[in-house]
C-alpha cells in the first residue's frame, strides 16, 4: 500500500471561505478596534448566547484560562475530584489555583469520570467535582449531579471537546454549575484560539469579566487581582464565521466516524465506544479506538508507529495519564485507576476533520486492516 503523499494529522482546523473572513476583516480595519470588548466580539457573544440558549456565557482567549478563572471566580479551593484521562490543561487549571487534584477512575464505555468511584474520594476538604466530557461524550450527568447535590459540591464540566453536543434536546452547557468550552484550532469548532464558560448563576458573569480584564471595574478602580484573558476581534471574527458552518462540521464528523466504525468494528482487537443513548446528540469530535494487543496482534504503540510509515499521524490522546507526568507524580492516588490505566495503554485517536476525504478515511482503515 502506498503511503499518503501529504501527512494526515489527527486533525486540521476548518478554514471557512477566505472571502467571508476578509469581509469581516474590512469591518475590523474600519473600526480600528482590535481587542478589549470590541464590536465584533459583542455581536459574536450574542450569536453564541443564541446557539447555547442561555445568556450566561463569558468569552476568553483560550479554554485553559477560562477554566482557571472559573475555578477562581467560583471560590473553589482545597481538593477537587477529577479525571486523570484528559488533556493536561484540566489539572493545570486546578494547580494554578492551588487546588489539590484527587484523581478518580473512569468508566469503560466513554472514558468519563466514574460516578460510582467518586463518593469514596470525598473528604472534608472536597469542594468540587471537575469532570470532562472527554472526546465530546457526555459524562454521567444525572449520577454526578446527584453526588454533587448530596455532598454540597460544585459540579464543573470541562467541555473543551463538547461544542455542538446536546442532551435531552438541550445544549450540553446547560448541565452542571459551569462548563468550559475550548475553541482551539484543533477542535471541531474553533475561533483560532478561544474559550467560553457557560454557567447557572448569572451573578458569576461580573466576577469572570473582572478576572479576565485585570480586575478593572472602571478606569480608576481595580476590584480584584485579575489577569488578561480577553478574546480579541480576530478570534471573535473567526468564531463568528465558523459558527455558520456548525451543521456542516457536525455532519462531516459523523460521516467520518461512521466510515471508521463500519470498516473497523469487526476487526479483532479494535473496539469503539458504544453508540450514544437516544437522548444524546453526540458531536463525534474525536475517533478514539482501543487496540487490544493480544487480539489485534500488534500493540497500540506499534500501530501508532506503523501509521507514521504511511504518513499518518494518529495521536495517543490521552496517554500517559496525568498522574504519570513529572509535575503530578507527587499527587497521592488513594484508589486504583484501573480502567484509566487500561484505556491509556490501548487508546489511539484516528484522524478526523472537515475536509478529510472519504477515500482517505478508507485508506486509513486499509492500513489498520492490512497490518
- Contact footprint for ligand T4K (CB under 6 A): 9-13, 62-64, 86-87, 89-90, 132, 158, 160-161, 182, 184-186, 195, 313, 317
Indicate the residue among 18 and 369 with the shorter CB distance to ligand T4K: 18
For residues 165 and 277, what is the distance between their CA atoms, to the nearest angstrom? 13
Question: Closest separation between CB of residue 9 and ligand T4K, Å?
Answer: 4
Q: Residues near 225 by Cβ (< 8 Å), separated by ≥ 6?
A: 215
Among candidate residues 75, 103, 73, the one with its CA nearest the CA of residue 88: 103
Indicate the residue among 117 and 161 with the shorter CB distance to ligand T4K: 161
Indicate the residue among 107 and 158 with the shorter CB distance to ligand T4K: 158
Question: Closest separation between CB of residue 32 and ligand T4K, Å?
Answer: 27
Question: Closest separation between CB of residue 296 and ligand T4K, Å?
Answer: 24
Give the nearest residue (CB) to ligand T4K: 63
Question: Closest separation between CB of residue 116 and ligand T4K, Å?
Answer: 22
Question: Closest separation between CB of residue 266 and ligand T4K, Å?
Answer: 29
Helix 246-264 with 233-243: angle, nearest 10 deg: 60
Indicate the residue among 12 and 261 with the shorter CB distance to ligand T4K: 12
Give me the torsion for CA of 172, 174, 178, 182, rounded to 10°: 30
Q: Residues near 236 by Cβ (< 8 Å), separated by ≥ 6?
A: 38, 40, 41, 43, 44, 59, 191
Indicate the residue among 131 and 269 with the shorter CB distance to ligand T4K: 131
The string over 19-36, giving b where at least 16 C-beta atoms fall within 10 Å of a residue's C-beta and e elsewhere, is eebeebeeebeeeebeee
For residues 284 and 244, what is the distance between their CA atoms, to the nearest angstrom? 18
Amino acid at each position: 500500500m502506498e503511503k499518503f503523499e501529504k501527512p494526515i494529522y489527527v486533525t486540521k482546523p476548518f478554514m471557512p471561505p477566505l472571502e467571508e473572513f476578509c469581509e469581516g476583516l474590512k469591518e475590523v480595519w474600519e473600526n480600528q478596534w482590535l481587542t478589549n470588548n470590541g464590536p465584533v466580539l459583542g455581536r459574536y457573544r450574542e450569536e453564541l448566547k443564541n446557539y447555547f440558549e442561555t445568556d450566561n456565557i463569558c468569552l476568553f482567549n483560550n479554554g485553559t484560562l477560562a477554566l482557571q478563572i472559573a475555578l477562581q471566580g467560583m471560590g473553589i479551593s482545597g481538593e477537587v475530584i477529577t479525571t486523570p484521562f484528559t488533556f493536561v490543561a484540566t489539572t493545570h487549571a486546578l494547580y494554578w489555583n492551588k487546588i489539590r487534584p484527587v484523581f478518580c477512575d473512569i468508566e469503560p464505555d466513554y472514558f468519563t469520570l466514574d460516578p460510582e468511584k467518586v463518593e469514596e474520594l470525598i473528604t472534608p476538604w472536597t469542594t468540587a467535582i471537575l469532570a470532562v466530557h472527554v472526546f465530546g461524550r457526555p459524562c454521567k450527568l444525572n449520577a454526578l449531579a446527584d453526588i454533587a447535590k448530596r455532598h454540597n459540591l460544585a459540579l464543573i464540566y470541562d467541555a473543551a471537546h463538547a461544542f455542538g453536543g446536546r442532551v435531552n434536546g438541550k445544549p450540553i452547557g446547560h448541565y452542571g454549575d459551569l462548563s468550559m468550552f475550548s475553541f482551539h484550532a484543533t477542535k471541531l469548532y474553533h475561533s483560532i484560539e478561544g474559550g467560553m464558560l457557560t454557567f447557572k448563576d448569572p451573578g458569576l458573569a461580573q466576577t469572570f469579566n473582572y478576572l479576565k480584564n485585570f480586575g478593572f471595574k472602571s478606569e480608576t478602580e481595580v476590584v480584584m487581582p485579575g489577569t488578561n484573558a480577553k478574546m480579541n476581534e480576530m478570534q471573535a471574527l473567526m468564531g463568528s464565521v465558523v459558527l455558520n458552518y456548525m451543521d456542516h462540521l457536525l455532519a462531516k464528523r459523523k460521516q467520518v466516524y461512521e466510515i471508521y466504525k463500519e470498516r473497523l468494528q469487526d476487526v479483532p482487537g479494535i473496539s469503539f465506544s458504544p453508540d450514544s443513548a437516544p437522548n444524546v446528540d453526540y458531536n463525534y469530535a474525536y475517533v478514539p479506538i482501543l487496540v487490544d494487543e493480544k487480539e489485534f496482534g500488534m500493540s497500540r504503540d506499534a500501530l501508532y508507529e506503523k501509521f507514521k510509515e504511511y504518513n499518518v499521524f494518529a495521536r495517543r490522546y490521552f496517554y500517559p495519564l496525568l498522574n504519570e507526568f513529572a509535575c503530578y507524580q507527587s499527587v497521592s492516588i488513594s484508589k486504583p485507576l484501573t480502567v484509566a490505566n487500561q484505556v491509556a495503554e490501548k487508546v489511539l485517536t484516528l484522524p478526523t476533520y472537515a475536509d478529510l476525504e472519504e477515500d482517505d478515511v478508507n485508506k486509513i482503515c486499509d492500513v489498520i486492516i492490512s497490518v
